[in-house]
């Protein structure tokens, strides 16, 4: 999964100026074959995808003026070609954290828990050194927990979360747990924290996190092609690629699935994005409400990071990355604009930052078109 520094790098570099050329460029012997896509969109996509490995797919959705346009592309034979893949399934990586926080917000709005409630009482044992953890700090990365637990299997690079289950988590909380920072004082991105959050939410309701996710999010927003398990996906699943562009296995998740275990489609994520535009939806508004200031350019709500676009508009954003996939999603809820990108580019590929840069370039372009349209009308 990606470091916060990549987030900042992506944001700071989103104002790159592209060299002008013919409508369908040739760069480094790679051809832009997106003849059916709008010229400005095509150029932006091409500039950020031309250096990806062969067979890399991106599924892109842009929401604007109440309509959604899909721009699927695949690199084949050194050509960036259109492909219809908005119904295809990709791992979304850490965008999962937004959904985990949405489950939290749903339970808060239902009055079943409070953001400031400590999670300790949910467990049948005492945490090491009687360390206290609460829901809000887990959701906004200020709990003080490390990025990953000390008893994590760091040697398993192919499927790193597969063997981290209840036994390992209980052992960690009971005998290993220690904080790197004082809670609620410092932002420090933690996959462990998000994973513990999801698992604990299931315990509070005497069910599993996966069942809560299905009930509180997937069913509620009619997301029929979103899953925690990749079983039985067959041809719907776009195969992930490793850093060398070779087909790689999917990641498996256990108790830490709330950190990055969801598979979905851009079509489903569009439904979730459109729900964010509904001012009556209090639980989603809660996830976008600032809970901590990271720096002068960025805040965090519950899951969502909050920042500004090139034109100064408020954005909410999250990205994701696993061994075989990278993703990015940003929304301007005031103007009801969104860009969603899913891909099978490995998070460990040298050009994976291009996914975030592409997301921000497209939201800037969409805001520009939206503003011009408003002026004309």
Averaged pLDDT, 106-116: 98
C-alpha closest to that of 192 among 213, 178, 211: 178
Averaged pLDDT, 25-35: 79
Averaged pLDDT, 28-47: 93
Which has more confidence, 355 or 15? 355
Q: Quote the CA–CA distance of 121 and 133 in Å, as a whole number.
A: 10
Report pLDDT digits (tens) over 247-267: 999 999 999 999 999 999 999
Contact status, residue 85 vs residue 72, Cβ threshold 8 Å: yes
Measured CA distances, 360 to 36, 91, 265, 322 (Å): 22, 20, 20, 20
Residue 57's pLDDT is: 98
Averaged pLDDT, 308-335: 96
Contact status, residue 272 vs residue 223, Cβ threshold 8 Å: yes
Residue 12's pLDDT is: 35
Q: Quote the CA–CA distance of 228 and 253 in Å, as a whole number.
A: 8
Contact status, residue 223 vs residue 264, Cβ threshold 8 Å: yes
Q: Which residues of 305-338 are buried (b: 16+ CB within 10 A; e: fewer)?
A: bbbebbeebebbbbbbbbbbbbbbbbbbbebbbb
Average pLDDT, the chain: 92
Q: Quote the CA–CA distance of 135 and 286 in Å, as a whole number.
A: 13
Residue 369's pLDDT is: 79
Residue 49's pLDDT is: 98
Residue whose entry in the numeric block shows the structure tokens 């060398």: 244
For the cut 80, the answer to whether the pLDDT of residue 21 exceeds it is no
For the cut 60, the answer to whether the pLDDT of residue 17 exceeds it is no
Q: How confident is the model at residue 4 (pLDDT cuts 50, 70, 90)?
A: very low
Q: How confident is the model at residue 374 (pLDDT cuts 50, 70, 90)?
A: low
Q: How confident is the model at residue 16 (pLDDT cuts 50, 70, 90)?
A: very low
State the DSSP code for 240.
P
State the DSSP code for 110.
T
Report pLDDT digits (tens) over 188-243: 999 999 999 999 999 999 999 999 999 999 999 999 999 998 878 889 999 999 99
Residues 6+ apart with CB under 8 A from 207: none
Of the ranges 14-18, 85-89, 212-216, 217-221, which one carries the lowest mean pLDDT score? 14-18
Residue 231's pLDDT is: 79
For the cut 90, the answer to whether the pLDDT of residue 287 exceeds it is yes
Contact status, residue 59 vs residue 90, Cβ threshold 8 Å: yes
């Amino acid at each position: 999964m990606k470091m916060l520094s990549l987030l900042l790098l992506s944001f700071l570099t989103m104002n790159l100026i592209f060299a002008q050329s013919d409508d369908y460029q040739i760069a480094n012997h790679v051809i832009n074959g997106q003849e059916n896509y709008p010229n400005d969109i095509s150029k932006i996509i091409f500039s950020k995808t031309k250096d990806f490995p062969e067979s890399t797919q991106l599924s892109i959705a842009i929401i604007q003026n109440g309509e959604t346009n899909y721009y699927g592309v695949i690199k084949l034979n050194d050509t960036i070609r259109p492909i219809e893949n908005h119904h295809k399934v990709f791992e979304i990586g850490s965008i999962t954290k937004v959904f985990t926080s949405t489950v939290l917000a749903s339970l808060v709005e239902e009055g079943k828990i409070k953001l400031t409630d400590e999670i300790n009482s949910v467990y049948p044992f005492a945490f090491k050194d009687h360390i206290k953890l609460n829901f809000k700090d887990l959701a906004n990365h200020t709990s003080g927990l490390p990025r990953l637990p000390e008893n994590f299997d760091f040697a398993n690079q192919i499927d790193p979360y597969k063997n981290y289950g209840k036994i390992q988590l209980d052992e960690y909380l009971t005998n290993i747990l220690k904080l790197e920072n004082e809670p609620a004082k410092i932002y420090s991105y933690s996959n462990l924290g998000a994973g513990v959050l999801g698992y604990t939410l299931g315990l509070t309701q005497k069910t599993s996190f996966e069942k809560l996710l299905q009930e509180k999010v997937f069913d509620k927003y009619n997301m029929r092609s979103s899953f925690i398990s990749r079983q039985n996906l067959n041809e719907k699943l776009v195969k992930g690629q490793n850093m060398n562009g070779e087909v790689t296995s999917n990641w498996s998740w256990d108790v830490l699935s709330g950190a990055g275990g969801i598979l979905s489609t851009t079509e489903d994520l569009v439904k979730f994005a459109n729900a964010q535009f509904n001012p009556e939806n209090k639980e989603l508004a809660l996830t976008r409400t600032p809970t901590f200031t990271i720096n002068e350019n960025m805040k965090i709500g519950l899951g969502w990071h909050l920042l500004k676009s090139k034109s100064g508009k408020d954005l909410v954003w999250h990205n994701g990355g696993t061994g075989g996939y990278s993703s990015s999603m940003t929304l301007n809820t005031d103007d009801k604009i969104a860009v969603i990108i899913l891909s099978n580019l490995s998070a460990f590929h040298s050009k994976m930052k291009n996914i975030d840069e592409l997301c921000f370039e497209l939201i800037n372009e969409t805001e520009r078109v939206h503003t011009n349209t408003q002026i004309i009308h």
